[in-house]
């Protein structure tokens, strides 16, 4: 690109990012509002955070959500990594087209349809709805995201590394465990994080898959938001936004530093 950063560019970036961030900034500011009215400022207060921590319904829902997210993202990472390995390495086998179709379809499927289909399956096989069914549903739709992330790493993976491991006496499983896995680990971890966030976020599929006894945090937020805005939700949102922001910024700083370190190492190697 020949970079002539013009006034037009500066304006569109400013407007664009204001549009993206202003709503969230307002949301965060008004979580510290004294008044119950979310739109009128009445002085600084942290009382809504206190009330949030007293609210058992929210805390229970948060606990269920966390449990579901950890379980389903872990399962999804295992299955998604296997699926990616099969897609990239297993070569041709019968039903491969169907397999790749089943991996990509959930990525573009509207959540209402996936949720409906899942629920109808659980009813057909007589599975009681609860945490288990949410985990199963979340595992299924998030494993596809994991497999996309992992397979894009596997495609660029030098296959002779695995052959070298075999040549030096590894069994195929040992080669995967001690060579392939450590090298693709960053992709597997970001796959897990993606699955975790998707599960944490999901409202629609969870609404279908959850039974009357189990409510996830997004479901709880949705039902209370339908009744109108509330400062408690603002407080909760602020907490969630800060966790994500800290997480993403930390992750990007770590990766930035490791890239810088690798560059420095390589330069040191050239000098010797």
Partner 1 sequence: MNFRRLFLILTPYTWLLVFFLIPFAIVFKIALSDYAISIPPYTPQLDLSAGWEGVKSFFSDLDFENFTFLASDALYYSAYLSSLKIAAIATLITLLVGYPVAYGMAQSSDEWRPTLMMLVILPFWTSFLIRVYAWIGILSNEGFLNQALMGIGLIDSPLTILNTNVAVYVGIVYTYLPFMVLPIYSALEKLDGSLIEAAEDLGCSRAQAFWLVTIPLSKPGIIAGCFLVFIPALGEFVIPSLLGGSSTLMIGKVLFEEFFSNRDWPVASAVAVVLLLILIIPIILFQRNEQKQREAGL
Partner 2 sequence: MAQPANRPVFAPWNDPNEKPLIQFKNVTKKFGEFTAIDDMTLNIYRKEFFALLGPSGCGKTTLMRMLAGFETPTKGTILLDGVDIAPIPPNKRATNMMFQSYALFPHLSVWENIAFGLKRSDMPKEKIPARVEEMLKLVRLEKFAKRKPHQISGGQRQRVALARSLAKAPKLLLLDEPLGALDKKLRQDTQFELMDIQEKTGTTFVIVTHDQEEAMTVASRVAVMDHGKMIQVDTPDRIYETPNSVYVADFIGDVNIVEGTATPKGDGKVAIAWAEGQPEISASIAEGVAPGTKVHFAIRPEKVAISSDRPEGKANVIEGTVHDIAYLGNISTYKVEVAGGRMIKAQVANDRRIARRDISWDDKVWLSFTDTAGVVLLN
> CB under 8 A: which stretch of 22-30, 50-58, 178-186, 264-272 binds partner 1?
22-30
Q: How many whole angstroms separate alpha carbon 68 and alpha carbon 145?
A: 17
CB 112 within 8 A of CB 123: no
* 235 lies in the site for partner 1, by CB under 8 A: no
Residue 113 is a binding residue for partner 1 (CB under 8 A): yes
Supply 246's token pair: 């800290």
User: With binding defined as CB under 8 A, does residue 266 bind partner 2?
Assistant: yes
**Binding partner of residue 167 among partner 2, partner 1, none, CB cut-off 5 to 8 Å per kind:** partner 2
* End-to-end alpha carbon distance in the chain: 36
The stretch among 15-23, 45-53, 54-62, 177-185 that binds partner 2 (CB under 8 A) is: 177-185
Instruction: Point out which span in 7-15, 73-81, 98-106, 160-168 binds partner 2 (CB under 8 A).
Output: 160-168
CB-count burial class (<10 Å; 0-12, 13-18, 19+) for 146: buried
DSSP bridge pairs for 33: 44
Residues binding partner 2: number (CB under 8 A): 23
Cα–Cα–Cα angle for 72, 73, 79, nearest 5°? 90
* Residue 211 contacts residue 129 (beta carbons within 8 Å): yes
Give, as ranges, the residues between 138 and 177 that touch partner 1 (CB under 8 A). 139-140, 143, 147, 172-173
- The residues binding partner 2 (CB under 8 A) are 158, 160-161, 163-171, 174, 179, 182-183, 262, 265-266, 268-270, 272
């Amino acid at each position: 690109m020949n970079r002539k950063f013009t006034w037009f560019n500066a304006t569109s970036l400013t407007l664009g990012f204001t549009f993206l961030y202003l709503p969230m900034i307002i949301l965060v500011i008004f979580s510290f509002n004294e008044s119950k009215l979310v739109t009128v400022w009445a002085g600084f207060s942290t009382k809504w955070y206190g009330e949030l921590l007293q609210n058992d319904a929210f805390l229970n829902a948060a606990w269920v959500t966390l449990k579901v997210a950890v379980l389903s993202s872990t399962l999804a990472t295992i299955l998604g990594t296997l699926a990616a390995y099969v897609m990239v390495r297993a070569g041709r086998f019968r039903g491969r087209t169907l397999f790749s179709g089943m991996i990509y379809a959930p990525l573009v499927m509207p959540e209402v349809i996936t949720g409906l289909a899942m629920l109808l399956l659980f009813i057909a096989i007589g599975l009681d709805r609860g945490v288990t069914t949410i985990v199963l549903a979340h595992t299924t739709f998030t494993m596809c995201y994991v497999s996309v992330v992992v397979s894009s790493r596997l495609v660029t993976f030098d296959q002779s590394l695995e052959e070298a491991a075999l040549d030096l006496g590894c069994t195929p499983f040992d080669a995967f465990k001690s060579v392939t896995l450590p090298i693709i680990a960053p992709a597997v971890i970001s796959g897990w994080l993606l699955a975790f966030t998707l599960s944490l976020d999901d409202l629609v599929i969870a609404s279908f898959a959850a039974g009357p006894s189990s409510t996830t945090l997004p479901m709880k937020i949705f039902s209370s938001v339908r009744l109108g805005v509330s400062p408690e939700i603002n407080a909760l949102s602020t907490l969630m936004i800060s966790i994500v922001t800290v997480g993403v910024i930390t992750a990007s700083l770590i990766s930035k530093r490791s890239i810088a370190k690798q560059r420095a190492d390589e330069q040191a190697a050239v000098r010797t």
